[in-house]
Amino acid sequence: MAQRPAARLSVNGQSHEYHGDPRRSLLDVLRLDLGLTGTKKGCDHGQCGACTVIVNGRRINSCLTLAVMHDEDEITTIEGIGTPDALSTLQAAFVAHDGFQCGYCTPGQICSATAMIEEIRQGWPSAVTADPADKPAVAEAEIRERMSGNLCRCGAYDNILAAIRDAMAQTEAAR
Amino acid sequence: MSDTYDTPDTRDMLDRTRQGVIGKPLDRPEGPLKVAGTATYAAEYVRENCAEGVLVGATISTGRVKKIHRDLVMAMPGVLGVYSSERMLRRAAQGTAGEAPEQDVSKVDFPMQPVALVVAETFEQATNAAKALQIDYDDQSGDAQFMPQDVDAEPAADPITAGDLDRAMRDAAHSVDLAFTTPGHASAAMEPHAAIAEWDGRDLTLWGSLQMLTYNVAELADSLGIDPKHVHLLSPYVGGGFGSKLGISHEAVAAAIAAKELDRPVRVVMSRQQVFQSIMRRSETEQRIRLGCGTDGRLTAFGHEALVSNLPGEEFSEPVTQASEFLYAGENRLLAVRKSDITRLTAGSVRAPGEAVGMQALEVAMDELAEAAGIDPVELRKRNLPDEVPGEGTPYSSRRLVEALDAGAAAFGWNKRSAKPCARREGEWWIGMGVASAARVNILAKAEARVTLTADGHVIVETDHTDIGTGSYAILGQVAAEMLGQPIDRTTVRLGDSRLPSGAGSGGSWGASSTGSAVFLACEAIRATLAQALGCASDDLLLQDGKAWAEGVEPRPVTDLLSEDLTRTGKIEPGKLMEKVNQSTYGAFFCEVAVNAFTGETRIRRMTGAFGFGRVLNAKTARSQCIGGMVWGIGSALTEELAFDSRDGHLVNHDLGEYHVPVHADIPDMEVILLEERDPHASPIQAKGVGELGICGAAGAVANAIYNACGVRLHDFPMTPDKLLADLPDPFAPAA
Ligand code: FES
Ligand code: FES
């Protein structure tokens, strides 16, 4: 009898079967098995956000979850968001606003912000939302709070915020 | 073209060239790769049959390894080898060492020092086996000293003295005598140290995360006992360095040794905890600052003394008083740094060694003196800028500190500050403003770069220089495009390959001005050849958008002047100007904070920095360096602190969950003013360094703003709520 694959992952629209070591994190499967090294490892402990990917529409730290737990999940990594020749609006805004320096936290920032923009649109509250029953304001405090799981040791925060705001405005205008 | 920089180049060539790209806020050329995740960092190269190595740290503080129980882990699934050798590193190399640091991991110098490498087929197998590895030690920790105060400190250098400080303090109309402490800091670059080593016979290729390849080749070769010509390093993208990747460290040497033994590629990536525990720390400091002035606010007494620490045998000592040597007046002086040898991990360069912690204390002391003298703190600083370096008599090259203070004050709205603390209250928050000067030494380093103007009119810049987020790819291309009159999109910059000419490397804020000057000199040589072909003098040659002309000579496409690719190498070496003229960089920070009247929590509300650092090569990447430095200053003021266990010297908060670097929510809007400046004494491109200036003094502005907000003066960084709480004024009392 054919062995059932440990996990069928859909990554950036492509399906993969993962049969390997069940101890392997989703992050390491992406980086080592699938060659998707755009997702970074900064701490392997859920403390930096460099490994942020989007799973079924929600951002998660891929270092804190095992690949085998993602059978049938839809995973989007930075490579699925845009390519150097066809950047997403947000990626292009990061370049224009210099929302990075060394670039190591950057894919995580962008994956995180991509999902965060959707969270605000859907009205999810955050710790700084005045009244959780209300729609959160698209304010800088909201963005800063929601992005605080993504560390940038180069200290590009001011520019990252500008890039996110710019991309949000562009997307709104195009709506 | 080669140049020992002995006479200032005052031609301002880059102001006379026509392309118009120098200084412009151009996007980084490698930006699209970084935002799309296709820029490749050290651990990410695909090498066939690559084995995975995990380092093992010592569980004693000092002593010797007696026995490593290899057999048990060798029997574990996938394990290929356990390495522990005389050549593996006990300590990381200090910046610009150019030779092997302390080797032989049978000795243990500090807690969690790497003592072995376990290699397996997979990362999970290696991690598991590394955890299972049993090691017997001869524990000599009983003799070790862990606290800098508990040992007799030795002078780190000859003290600088002038006049009679004690007497000047007694005679001063106003004076302050203050004791400060700053804790240890970690670089905490986002990319952990990583290496992939692969041998081809006697030749080693190593993909690493390194700041200074020329030095790193020598360090790695010396560590392995091989000729440097057999070492090839690749480090085209580096996920941050901040000093931690200046020298070769444990993972690179261990990977090379294991790869040789196993005859297959080996990757070693340090865990975040290992990076914290075994690479480098910034030393903690104790500082005493004595300042005295007359009724006019002019400094007559200036004392700055510090106690720092390092491991026994390390020469490096945090140069705490570096900026105090040249920044302010005061004819009666004492500057002295002492160093304690203690058992904690190696102390070395962390972004802006010296000024990062020395300036933040000095700038608080200046604020207190201003208050004692009843003089506005901006004004007090302006009154105390000496005409020449006190005691040395060296003149200054360019110093735009007054302009920085004025421009910053105007942009920030300094005139709205109340001189008295507790004057402004918004809800639960006390609001206050603070100022500090920025100052940082400037260094020109030896550098070499090769520039090619191809027959079809492309510009290629090549050097082993690195871009650690600093903007090297952008600015080196801008220098070359400007000099050779080609559009920036016809310019390619190749970095981070040790086979390319030796750039200065990224560190000490010297990369841009040094390697930029080498690129400039290579371009000058190309221009000379083009001028000859066109029939004009080199300095008369005009180049723009691929055309060449001169006064009275018709424009021609540059490609018409070229029969083949034109390649020249430029070299620069520091010369007499470094000694003869003080070329430091300057700036000013203005900060507004809110301090919670009940909890003592400090929030930064806004921050302005104004900086003068010679020619700006790219206004966008230079600004990024400045905001990055200011973020570090905020971390240093409010949250960053390495905590060591006083019983065994181990680093307690060895990860990003416990060592608190600033996050998005901590950082307010930042305003940066770049002052136009040319410093021909610093480099032929009239540029200086900016990678560290933005941190040097920033935390002082925060501390001064905290005092102005709530009236609490702290001298122990970081200024966490628990320290503020006891002295906060009655939260229910009305604002003063
Ligand atoms: S690598 Fe996952 S949060 Fe840091
Ligand atoms: S860009 Fe370097 S850590 Fe964010």
Q: What mean pLDDT is predicted for residues B357-374?
A: 98
Half-sphere exposure of A119 (CA within 13 A, CB side): 20
Cβ contact, residue pair A103, B30, below 8 Å: yes
Indicate the number of domains in chain B. 3
Q: Which amino acid is at B211?
A: Q
Whether residue A30 has its Cβ less than 6 Å from ligand 1: no
Q: Which amino acid is at B91?
A: R
B305 touches B335 (CB < 8 A): yes
d(CA B702, CA B707): 9
Q: What mean pLDDT is predicted for residues A115-140?
A: 90
Residues B548 and B633 in one domain: no
Residues B511 and B549 in one domain: yes
Statement: residue B325 has pLDDT above 90: yes
Question: Of A81, A112, A141, which residue constitutes the final position of a domain?
Answer: A81
Q: How far is B374 from chain A (nearest CA, A)?
A: 35
Nearest to B561 by CA among B525, B523, B531: B531
Residues A107 and A161 in one domain: yes
Question: Of A43, A64, A81, which residue constitutes the final position of a domain?
Answer: A81
Whether residue A43 has its Cβ less than 6 Å from ligand 1: yes
Residues B484 and B536 in one domain: yes
Residues A153 and A96 in one domain: yes
Looking at the partner chain, which of A43, A148, A160 has a beta carbon nearest the beta carbon of B656?
A43
Please name every residue paired with B4 in a beta bridge, in sequence order, or none if there are none.
B573
Whether residue A51 has its Cβ less than 6 Å from ligand 1: yes
Residues A125 and A148 in one domain: yes
- Residue range B542-556, pLDDT digits in tens: 999 999 999 999 999
What residues flank ligand 2, with Cβ below 6 Å? A 100-106, 152-154, 156; B 190, 240, 469
Sequence-separated (6 or more) residues with CB below 8 Å from residue B663: A148, A149, A150, A151, A157
DSSP state of B28: P
In sequence order, which ranges of B489-544 are alpha helices (DSSP H)? 511-534
pLDDT band at B336 (very low <50, low <70, confident <90, very high): very high
Whether residue A49 has its Cβ less than 6 Å from ligand 1: yes
The DSSP secondary structure of B386-425, one letter per residue, reads -SB-TTT-PBBS---HHHHHHHHHHHHTGGG--SSSS--E
Name every chain B residue with its beta carbon within 8 A of the beta carbon of A6: none
pLDDT of residue A139: 86
pLDDT of residue A2: 45
With pLDDT > 90 as the criterion, what percentage of chain B qualifies?
A: 99
Ligand 2 site-directed mutation target among B30, B34, B35, B190, most atoms within 8 Å of CB:
B190
Helix (H) or strand (E) holding A27: helix A26-28
Q: At B518, list the tokens.
A: 């080498």
Residues A109 and A49 in one domain: no
d(CA B501, CA B449): 5
pLDDT band at A22 (very low <50, low <70, confident <90, very high): very high
d(CA B628, CA B634): 10
| Cis amide prior to B29 (ω within 30 degrees) | no
Nearest to B234 by CA among B244, B223, B220: B220
Indicate the number of domains in chain A. 2
Minimum Cα–Cα distance from A48: chain B residue: B656
Residue A161 lies in a domain: yes
B617 touches B472 (CB < 8 A): no
Residues B426 and B530 in one domain: no
Whichever domain contains B85, its CATH number is: 3.90.1170.50
Whose Cα sits closest to atom 3 in ligand 1?
A46
Q: At B124, list the tokens.
A: 């999970």
Regarding an ipTM greater than 0.95, the answer is yes
Measured CA angle at B337 (ends B332, B339), to 5 deg? 160
- Residue range B340-362, pLDDT digits in tens: 999 999 999 999 999 999 999 99
Cβ contact, residue pair A84, B32, below 8 Å: yes
Residue B159 lies in a domain: no
Name every chain A residue with its beta carbon within 8 A of the beta carbon of B46: 35
Residues B537 and B553 in one domain: yes
Q: At B521, list the tokens.
A: 């000199």
Q: What mean pLDDT is predicted for residues B484-506?
A: 98
Count CB-CB contacts under 10 A for residue B692: 29
Residue A67 lies in a domain: yes
Residue A145 lies in a domain: yes
Residue A100 lies in a domain: yes
Name every chain A residue with its beta carbon within 8 A of the beta carbon of B27: 95-96, 98
Question: Of A81, A103, A127, which residue constitutes the final position of a domain?
Answer: A81
Residues A76 and A123 in one domain: no
pLDDT band at A4 (very low <50, low <70, confident <90, very high): low
As a whole number of Å, the end-to-end CA separation of chain B is: 65
- Residue range B611-657, pLDDT digits in tens: 999 999 999 999 999 999 999 999 999 999 999 999 999 999 999 99
Number of H-type helices and E-type strands within chain A: 6, 5
Query: Domain range spanning residue A156?
Result: 89-174
Looking at the partner chain, which of B240, B469, B627 has a beta carbon nearest the beta carbon of A158?
B627
Statement: residue B92 has pLDDT above 80: yes
Residues B65 and B25 in one domain: no
Cα–Cα distance list, B480 to B4, B542, B707 (Å): 20, 14, 48
pLDDT of residue A138: 79
B86 touches B103 (CB < 8 A): yes
- Please give the residue that has the higher pLDDT: either B3 or B599: B599
Count CB-CB contacts under 10 A for residue B732: 7
Whichever domain contains A159, its CATH number is: 1.10.150.120
The DSSP secondary structure of B646-678, one letter per residue, reads TTT--BS--STTTS----GGG--EEEEEEPP--
B388 touches B394 (CB < 8 A): yes
Cβ contact, residue pair A157, B662, below 8 Å: yes
Statement: residue B281 has pLDDT above 60: yes
Q: At B386, list the tokens.
A: 């000496």
Statement: residue B13 has pLDDT above 70: yes
d(CA B125, CA B118): 9
d(CA B681, CA B569): 22
Residue A52 lies in a domain: yes
Question: Of B531, B551, B574, which residue constitutes the final position of a domain?
Answer: B574
With pLDDT > 70 as the criterion, what percentage of chain A qualifies?
A: 97
Whether residue A46 has its Cβ less than 6 Å from ligand 1: yes
Whichever domain contains A20, its CATH number is: 3.10.20.30
Residues A124 and A72 in one domain: no
Nearest to B733 by CA among B592, B593, B597: B597
Sequence-separated (6 or more) residues with CB below 8 Å from residue B499: B232, B464
Q: At B606, list the tokens.
A: 């806004």
Q: Is B219 designated active site?
A: no
Count CB-CB contacts under 10 A for residue B388: 13
Statement: residue B378 has pLDDT above 60: yes
Name every chain A residue with its beta carbon within 8 A of the beta carbon of B37: 36-39, 77-79, 106-107
Statement: residue A8 has pLDDT above 70: yes
pLDDT of residue A1: 41
- Residue range B20-30, pLDDT digits in tens: 999 999 999 99
Residues A136 and A153 in one domain: yes
Residues A11 and A75 in one domain: yes
Question: Of B286, B640, B641, B692, which is the active-site residue?
Answer: B692
pLDDT band at B736 (very low <50, low <70, confident <90, very high): low
Q: What is the pTM of this model?
A: 0.98
Residue B284 lies in a domain: no
Residues B530 and B491 in one domain: yes
Minimum Cα–Cα distance from A33: chain B residue: B46
Statement: residue B733 has pLDDT above 90: no
Question: Of B539, B574, B609, which residue constitutes the final position of a domain?
Answer: B574
Residues B115 and B79 in one domain: yes
Residues A136 and A168 in one domain: yes
Residues B464 and B528 in one domain: yes
d(CA B278, CA B515): 30
Q: How far is the CA of B152 from the centre of ligand 2 (A)?
A: 40
Statement: residue B2 has pLDDT above 90: no
pLDDT of residue B734: 72
Q: Is B717 helix (H, G, I), strand (E, B) or coil?
A: coil
Residues B268 and B123 in one domain: yes
pLDDT of residue B88: 98
Q: Is B176 helix (H, G, I), strand (E, B) or coil?
A: strand
Residues A74 and A23 in one domain: yes
Residues B498 and B545 in one domain: yes
Whichever domain contains B473, its CATH number is: 3.30.365.10
Residue B632 lies in a domain: yes
Residues A56 and A106 in one domain: no
Q: What are phi and psi of A115, to 5 degrees?
A: -75, -35
Q: Which ligand is nearest to the CA of A26?
A: 1
Statement: residue B609 has pLDDT above 90: yes
Query: Domain range spanning residue B641?
Result: 398-443+580-725
B217 touches B498 (CB < 8 A): yes
Residue A65 lies in a domain: yes
Q: Is B36 left (phi over 0), alpha (psi -120 to 50) or beta?
A: alpha
As a whole number of Å, the end-to-end CA separation of chain A is: 52
Q: What mean pLDDT is predicted for residues B291-304?
A: 98
pLDDT band at B316 (very low <50, low <70, confident <90, very high): very high
Residue B599 lies in a domain: yes
Residue A1 lies in a domain: no
Residues B55 and B31 in one domain: no
